[in-house]
Amino acid sequence: MSDLQGFGFVLPHWLYWGWLAVMPLVMMYMARREAQRRPQQAIPDEETALDILAEEDPVQQDNGNRVTRVIDWISDKSGVFVAFWTVNAVVIYFYEVVMRYLFNMPTIWVHEASYLLFGMQYLLAGGFAMLYGAHVRVDIIYVKLPPRGRVGMDIFTSIFFFIFALALCATSWHFFTDSYQMGEVTMETWGIQHWPVKMMMFLGSALILMAGVSKLIKDLRLFIKMGEAQS
């Protein structure tokens, strides 16, 4: 960091990555402890992923099996994990405003730290968004189908989803390995490592692929159940 002398406080790279890894775990632990300490304040009818999807789509959702429950747990917790990163952006932007306008000492790392953080949030939240039905869906034909036809349409269109997800996994893994081998850093003055961001691209694509597997299993189970009910 000697080449950054004269810029005031510069957040060390190791501290940035370490804090992003540890801080959400601490916040999740504290939230869990607080919920256990005050169980009487818990919401008895808290919405689950199935409840939210049922509001969006009248087709009854399937509860899945042990495999889907594990995948759904990972999708849910990964989304909560990256959600806590937003707190960091608020704090460091506040620090930037204070340093820039009160002390006339603008930082060289806050903006870059924030947009890298938001970019990684976007990359890692795909599985969480899929679990809760938050991805955009064009349903011009879909809404006109009967309930079992909608489930069948979901199963059919999953072919295109898996082509995209697998291609994204393969491409992002190639990006990550190339970036890691060359020790890629960002072009800004802060010069932080860029390969962890490429790694998040691969991890995010793996999460959304897993979420797609979970949805396909539940759709297949539901399609079979609805067929048996009609026979």
Token pair for residue 141? Answer: 């034909």
Q: Is the dihedral of CA 76, 79, 84, 86 positive or negative?
A: negative
Residues 135-182 pLDDT 10s: 877 777 877 888 888 889 989 999 999 999 999 999 999 999 999 999
Token pair for residue 100? Answer: 């820039």
For residues 90-102, average pLDDT: 94
| Of residues 83, 100, 63, the one with CA closest to residue 214 | 63
Predicted pLDDT of residue 58: 45
Predicted pLDDT of residue 40: 59
Q: In the predicted model, is pLDDT for residue 188 greater than 60?
A: yes
Residues 204-221 pLDDT 10s: 999 999 999 999 999 999
Residue 42 lies in a domain: no
Query: Domain range for residue 18?
Result: 7-35+47-185+192-230
Q: In the predicted model, is pLDDT for residue 31 greater than 50?
A: yes
Residue 24 lies in a domain: yes
Q: Are 207 and 74 in contact (CB under 8 A)?
A: yes
Which phi and psi angles does 146 have, rounded to 5°?
-70, 165
For residues 35-46, average pLDDT: 63
Residue 28 lies in a domain: yes
Predicted pLDDT of residue 102: 92
DSSP 32-87: HHHHHH-GGGS-TT---HHHHHHHH--SPPP---HHHHHHHHHHHHHHHHHHTHHH
Residue 2 lies in a domain: no
Residue 178 lies in a domain: yes
pLDDT: which is higher, 27 or 55 = 27
CB atoms within 10 A of CB 180: 15
Q: Is the dihedral of CA 215, 219, 221, 225 positive or negative?
A: positive
Token pair for residue 212? Answer: 């797609």
Residue 88 lies in a domain: yes
Which phi and psi angles does 13 have, rounded to 5°?
-60, -45
Which phi and psi angles does 217 have, rounded to 5°?
-60, -45
Predicted pLDDT of residue 136: 77
Residue 40 lies in a domain: no
Amino acid, res. 114: S
pLDDT, averaged across the chain: 87
Residues 50-91 pLDDT 10s: 565 555 554 456 778 899 999 999 999 999 999 999 999 999
Number of compact structural domains in the chain: 1
The model's pTM: 0.85
Q: In the predicted model, is pLDDT for residue 43 greater than 90?
A: no
The 3-class secondary structure across 79-141, one letter per residue, is HHHHHCHHHHHHHHHHHHHHHHHCCCCCCCCHHHHHHHHHHHHHHHCHHHHHHCCCCCCCCCC
Residue 106 lies in a domain: yes
Cα(179)–Cα(171) distance, integer angstroms: 12
